A and B are shown apart, each in its own frame.
Chain A
Amino acid sequence: MNQFQYVRATETSGAVKSLAKDPAAHFLAGGTNLIDLMKMGIVVPERLVDINQLPLKKIENIPGGLRIGALATNTEVAEHPLVKKNFPLLALAINAGASPQLRNMATVGGNMMQRTRCPYFFDTMMPCNKRKPGSGCGALEGYNRMHAIFGASDNCIAVNPSDMNVALTALDASVHITGTKGARKIKFADFHRLPGDNPELDNTLQKGELITAVELPSSPFTKNIEYLKVRDRTSFAFALVSAAVALHIENNIIIHASVAMGGVSHKPWRLKTTETFLKGKTANETVFKQAAAIAMEGAKAYEHNKFKLKLAPNTLIQALKTAAGVSS
Chain B
Amino acid sequence: MASKKPCTAPDTENNLAETRRDFLKQSSLLTAIALTPAAVIKAAGAHWDEKFAGVFEKISLHLEVNGVKHNFQVEPRVTLLDLLREELHLTGTKKGCDRGQCGACTVHVNGTRINSCLSLAVTNEGKKITTIEGLADGKTLHPMQEAFIKHDGFQCGYCTSGQIMSAVALVKEGHANSETEIREFMSGNICRCGAYPNIVNAIKEVKEGGHS
Contact = CB atoms under 8 A, between A and B. Distances in A.
Interface of A: 1-6, 8, 24, 28, 31-32, 35-36, 38-39, 44, 46-48, 50, 52, 75, 98-102, 104-105, 234-236
B92 interface: no
Nearest to B106: A101
A44 B118 CA distance: 16
Which of A28, A50, A100 gathers most chain B CB within 10 Å?
A100
B123 A102 contact: no
Contact of B119 (A1, A4, A98, A105): A105
Closest 6 CB pairs of A and B: A99-B188, A6-B76, A235-B187, A236-B187, A5-B54, A46-B39
Given A1-B77, A3-B55, A104-B114, A99 B187 contact: yes
Interface stretch (B6-14, B96-104, B140-148, B198-206): B96-104
A2 B125 CA distance: 21
A100 B39 contact: no
B24 interface: no
B42 interface: yes
Contacts of B189: 99
A292 to B, nearest CB: 27
B79 interface: yes
Interface in B117-139: 118-120, 122-123, 125
A2 B103 contact: no
How big is the B interface, by class? 35 or more
Contacts of A105: 114-115, 118-119
Contacts of B100: 32, 36, 99, 101-102
A1 B42 CA distance: 18
A43 B57 CA distance: 21
B59 interface: yes
Contacts of A102: 100, 115, 118, 188
B39 A4 contact: yes
A48 B123 CA distance: 11
Contacts of B38: 44, 46
B51 A5 contact: yes
Contacts of A48: 76, 120
B188 A236 contact: yes
B153 to A, nearest CB: 18
Contacts of B43: 46
A108 B169 CA distance: 22
B37 interface: yes
B112 interface: yes
A264 B100 CA distance: 24
Max count, chain A CB within 10 A of own CB: residue among B51, B99, B115, B169: B115
Interface centre among B100, B184, B185, B189 (most CB of A within 10 A): B100
Nearest to B113: A101
A297 to B, nearest CB: 35
Interface string B18-55: 00000000000000000001110011000000010011
B177 to A, nearest CB: 14
A31 B76 contact: no
A100 B170 contact: yes
Nearest to B175: A100
B183 interface: yes
Nearest to A98: B188
A50 B122 CA distance: 9
A5 B57 contact: yes
Contacts of A234: 183
A288 B191 CA distance: 40
A8 B57 CA distance: 14
Nearest to A48: B76
Interface in B69-111: 75-77, 79, 98-100, 103, 106
B179 interface: no
B166 A101 contact: yes
Given A100-B170, A100-B185, A2 B39 contact: yes
